[in-house]
Structures are given as structure tokens and as C-alpha cells.
Amino acid sequence: DTAVSQTPKYLVTQMGNDKSIKCEQNLGHDTMYWYKQDSKKFLKIMFSYNNKELIINETVPNRFSPKSPDKAHLNLHINSLELGDSAVYFCASSQEGSGAFYEQYFGPGTRLTVT
């Protein structure tokens, strides 16, 4: 069973479009994250959700919005896509508190290309 899954794996779209990336984890974790990895492999945290509450927002443009229908899902919506949004987006999850000590489990990534 895949622990953290993302769909789609590849996403090619034009500037100005709106798109969504879905993430699901079956680990029972209570915190989920979205990261952006640019072409130089730099990882930047975008959001995290803990028990359906946004707890980190790292100055990401408001065109990006995370939506969590339940604690196993954290979807990423992007409006009015721009060329600079092209990157690989990773979803991750972790369990806060005793036990895992915030170790994060990553999904396989979604490669977004904006043309």
C-alpha cells in the first residue's frame, strides 16, 4: 500500500488556468504538508495542516490554497497559473507528538509544467 499518494504525477497546463493536485495519506498521521521543489532541487515548504487547521503558510501567493476535507487528504489548488509555478510539488505527512517525532513521509511528487 502506498503511504502517501499524489495525483496526477504529471500536469501540463497553460498560463492562466486553474488546477488542483490531490494528496492522500493512509498512515493515520495528523499533519500534512505541501512543498515546492524548483529546478535547482531547492525544497520550500508551502503549507501544513494539523487536524484540519492551517499552521504554516510561508509567504506563498494567495493563488495557492490548500484544502483538507479530512485529515487523510490535503489538496492543493492553484489559480491563474504562472510560468514560475512550474516545479515539482511534494505532499508529505507526519505524526506530531510521541512516536514519530515529526519524521515526514513524502509522496512521489507532481511535476507541474506551465506553458
Partner 1 sequence: AQSVTQLDSQVPVFEEAPVELRCNYSSSVSVYLFWYVQYPNQGLQLLLKYLSGSTLVKGINGFEAEFNKSQTSFHLRKPSVHISDTAEYFCAVSENTGNQFYFGTGTSLTVIP
Side chain identity at residue 63, one-letter code: R
Within residues 15-54, the interface with partner 1 by CB under 8 A covers 31, 33, 40-43, 45, 48, 50
Minimum distance of partner 1 from residue 43's CB (angstroms):
4
Minimum distance of partner 1 from residue 16's CB (angstroms):
28
Q: Looking up cell 507532481, which residue turns up? A: 110
- Name the nearest CA neighbour of 87 among 47, 36, 18, 16: 36
- Name the nearest CA neighbour of 44 among 87, 100, 9, 95: 87
Q: Pick the closer one to partner 1 by CB: 37 or 79.
A: 37
Q: Pick the closer one to partner 1 by CB: 84 or 99.
A: 99
Within residues 81-110, the interface with partner 1 by CB under 8 A covers 90, 92, 94, 96, 101-109
Q: Looking up cell 486553474, which residue turns up? A: 18
